């Protein structure tokens, strides 16, 4: 059996999970930089007042927040 001192054992118990968590945080922060925050928004252009707006729901049509006219999505992603 391998003899490990108690202080070394506790240092490993604390430092190894901390190192793994740090590596995961760095990995996911790098991944999140490449994702667009607006990837779930649909863009609408109002046919009545010309207001351009984005709503984070996937609906083929939605009401304009200014005048209430029902508009078709210009772009969905
Ligand atoms: Zn409008």
- So where are the chain's domains? 1-35, 42-76
Q: How remote is the CA of residue 61 from the centroid of ligand 1, in Å?
A: 13
pTM: 0.49
Segment of 2-6, 15-19, 56-60, 72-76 carrying the highest mean pLDDT? 15-19
Q: How remote is the CA of residue 44 from the centroid of ligand 1, in Å?
A: 10
Q: How remote is the CA of residue 48 from the centroid of ligand 1, in Å?
A: 5
SS3 content of the chain, % helix, strand, coil (to 5): 35, 25, 40
Percent above pLDDT 70 for the chain:
90
Kindly report the average pLDDT of the chain as a whole number. Answer: 87
Percent above pLDDT 90 for the chain:
55
pLDDT at 2: 77
Q: How remote is the CA of residue 5 from the centroid of ligand 1, in Å?
A: 72
CB neighbourhood size of 71 (10 A): 19
pLDDT at 38: 60
């Amino acid at each position: 059996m391998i003899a490990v001192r108690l202080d070394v054992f506790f240092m490993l118990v604390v430092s190894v999970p901390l190192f793994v968590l740090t590596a995961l945080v760095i990995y996911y922060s790098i991944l999140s930089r490449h994702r667009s925050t607006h990837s779930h928004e649909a863009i609408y252009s109002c046919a009545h007042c010309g207001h351009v707006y984005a709503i984070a729901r996937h609906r083929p049509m939605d009401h304009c927040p200014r005048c209430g006219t029902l508009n078709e999505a210009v772009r969905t992603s």
